[in-house]
Amino acid sequence: MDDKIYMVVLVAILLGGFYLVSVSLSSAPESPVYVNIQNGSALSVEHNTVSTSGEALRYVEPDKMTVSFSVQTEDRSATEAQDENAEKVNDITAALKAMGINEEDIKTTYYYVNVKKESHYICRNETYESDCYWTYRNVGYQVQHTLSVDVYEVDKGGEIVDAIVDEDGEVDYISLGLKKETQMEINKDLLSEAAANAKEKAEGIAEGLGASVTNVLSVSESYSYYPSPYRSYDYGVGYAEAAYDSMETSISTGTIEVSASVSATFEIQ
């Protein structure tokens, strides 16, 4: 009889323990499980990764020159000042077109008409107190028209400068750069080189760890190109002085630095 009671108690304990375990498991908070099923096998999607960046640099001769120039005129009449300014601008534009510059490559970047004032300090001395004051009167008008011209035959840069100055224009600055088509072509090549450089670094790291690169997980890129201003003066004088001294202006273009970089994350095994 005692043996039967013992067996009943043992079964009750076992059943109760199973119930508690099942309740505990069913009430446990769920946690996400990510798996990738491939060929009937469950594989973890966690990756061993290595991140690298690659760079590529090139020095390129410019194939575009932008010349900024201004025409300034003054007259007692605003209309006369504007008409004179327009005439000079037309003369410069005609000279540039005669040198093969397209009209769409000549653009206005700034235009203003300014009243020119003259100041006078007047003292009437009509009282024992100070009765001096400043007065201003209009004595004329100033007109400034600033334009830019894009030159794609860079070796003609000096001639362009001389033509502008010969027609009473003032050269403000020169910028050396690249045409859009050239930028796109160089950018493509540099990004390809930078990507290969990033992959080569990743493979070197993986080899050192006894692993190998198996996949690209992410990639980003950047590109750097800045047109360079030309601030040199030939013969030790300015553009205008060089032209008036009948000396042909010579411009040394040099090279432009263009760079690209690629950052990538690779899976390794």
- Euclidean distance between CA atoms 122 and 135, whole angstroms: 7
Query: Cβ(73)–Cβ(142) under 8 Å?
Result: yes
pTM score, two decimals? 0.66
Q: Average pLDDT, stretch 181-187?
A: 95
Between these two residues, 158 and 249, which has the higher pLDDT value?
Answer: 158
Q: Do 80 and 157 share a domain, yes or no?
A: yes
* Residue 114: predicted pLDDT: 92
Q: Is residue 214 part of a domain?
A: no
Q: Do 71 and 171 share a domain, yes or no?
A: yes
Q: Average pLDDT, stretch 98-102?
A: 95
CATH number of the domain to which 162 belongs: 3.30.70.2970
Q: Is residue 60 part of a domain?
A: no
Q: Which helix (H) or strand (E) holds 266?
A: strand 256-268
Q: Do 164 and 83 share a domain, yes or no?
A: yes
Asked whether the predicted pLDDT for residue 176 surpasses 80, the reply is yes
Q: Do 106 and 156 share a domain, yes or no?
A: yes
In the chain, the number of structural domains is: 2
| Buried/exposed 108-131: b ≥16 CB within 10 Å, e otherwise | eeeeeeeeeeeeeeeeeeeeeeee
Q: Average pLDDT, stretch 26-45?
A: 36
* Residue 249: predicted pLDDT: 77
Q: Do 149 and 69 share a domain, yes or no?
A: yes
* Residue 118: predicted pLDDT: 83
Q: Do 35 and 88 share a domain, yes or no?
A: no
Q: Is residue 55 part of a domain?
A: no
Q: Do 157 and 71 share a domain, yes or no?
A: yes
pLDDT band at 247 (very low <50, low <70, confident <90, very high): low
Expressed as residue numbers, the domain containing 86 is: 65-176
- Euclidean distance between CA atoms 77 and 83, whole angstroms: 10
Q: Do 87 and 171 share a domain, yes or no?
A: yes
- What are the CB-based long-range contacts (under 8 Å, 24+) for 230-237? 230/173, 230/174, 230/175, 230/176, 231/173
| Tens digits of residue pLDDT in 196-236 | 999 999 999 999 999 999 999 999 999 888 877 765 444 33
Q: Is residue 195 part of a domain?
A: no
